[in-house]
Amino acid sequence: MALGLIGIVLPGLPTVPFLLLAAWAGGKGWPALEAWLLQHPRHGPAIRRWREHGAVPRRAKWAASLMMAFSATLLAFSAAPLAVKLATPAVMAAVAIWLWHRPDA
């Protein structure tokens, strides 16, 4: 939950995935947290759409894709080992493909 809240103000740190995880975990052991997240005016609708339809807003898809591309570009120019420079963008590409196959919210 804390990472999701930090992600609201810190660019590059995703908010909704952490809130989805908090809603799932909250539903398992803290019903009041789950209810609060589902009724949240800003993030509640996204969580509900995800739960009901597995839907992701097109704007979020674009933001995630652009951040992954930016991260891959930075990684390419870093001193990271070659295996990391190849594997990380491959994983991000797989995530992007999966993401764009989700229904639009």
Computed on alpha carbons and rounded to an integer, the radius of gyration of the chain in Å comes to 16
What pLDDT was estimated at residue 86?
94
List, in order, residues 6 or more apart from 88 with CB less than 8 Å away: 71, 72, 75, 80
What pLDDT was estimated at residue 103?
95
In sequence order, what DSSP letters do the residues of 49-74 get, joined into one string? HHHHH--B-HHHHHHHHHHHHHHHHH
Return d(Cα 38, Cα 46) in angstroms, integer: 9
| Largest CA-CA distance found in the chain, in angstroms, rounded | 46
What pLDDT was estimated at residue 12?
66
Cβ neighbour number for residue 92 with a 10 Å cutoff: 18
What pLDDT was estimated at residue 23?
79
What is the residue-level pLDDT of the chain in tens, covering all 105 positions? 777 777 776 666 677 787 778 878 877 888 888 888 889 999 899 889 988 999 999 998 998 899 889 989 988 999 999 999 999 999 989 989 999 999 997
What pLDDT was estimated at residue 67?
87
Predicted TM-score (pTM) of the model is 0.70
Query: Per DSSP, which regions of 1-105 are E strands?
Result: none
Return d(Cα 19, Cα 56) in angstroms, integer: 14
